[in-house]
Amino acid sequence: MAWFKRSPWVLHYNATSCNGCDIEVIASLTPLYDLERFGIINVGNPKHADILLATGSVNEKSKQVLKTLYEQMPNPKVIVAVGLCAISGCVFQDCYNVLGGVDKVLPVDVYVPGCAARPEAIIDGVIKACEILEEKYAQQKKARRTSA
């Protein structure tokens, strides 16, 4: 049995976002939404995290940070792109310095739309991410068994 569904730990990174989505991510931790009742904790350390919540349109500077964070997370791990900027670049997509979406850098598993994404949508996205975590763990286990 995999336990990822019961305790997904989330790492939140602002890849040049306008802070709108970030406020909503933090809002989902408040007593009104209370993410912790699902066992979800907002950690500050990639080595403790299962899910990477990335917001913002990603530029050349934040690209490196995003990659480093992803590499430091232990397997299995899932990336959630939160907000329209993280999905496509939104209104910033034509800017010369913007890459236009987290999936230009990393393999995104869940897209949470909205400008800014609503806390309900973010919670829904994280719960979806949990299922993908479980799948990834099952695949990992299978791969390990076949290689052994």
Task: Name the site residues for other proteins (rule: CB under 8 A).
Answer: 2-4, 6-7, 31, 34, 36-39, 41-45, 47-48, 50, 72, 74-76, 137
- CB 13 to other proteins: min, Å: 11
Can you tell me whether residue 12 is helix, strand or coil? strand
Cβ proximity of 21 and 82 under 8 Å: yes
Of 5 and 104, the one with the shorter C-beta distance to other proteins is 5
Cβ proximity of 101 and 58 under 8 Å: yes
Of 45 and 97, the one with the shorter C-beta distance to other proteins is 45
Cβ proximity of 110 and 80 under 8 Å: yes
Of 44 and 107, the one with the shorter C-beta distance to other proteins is 44
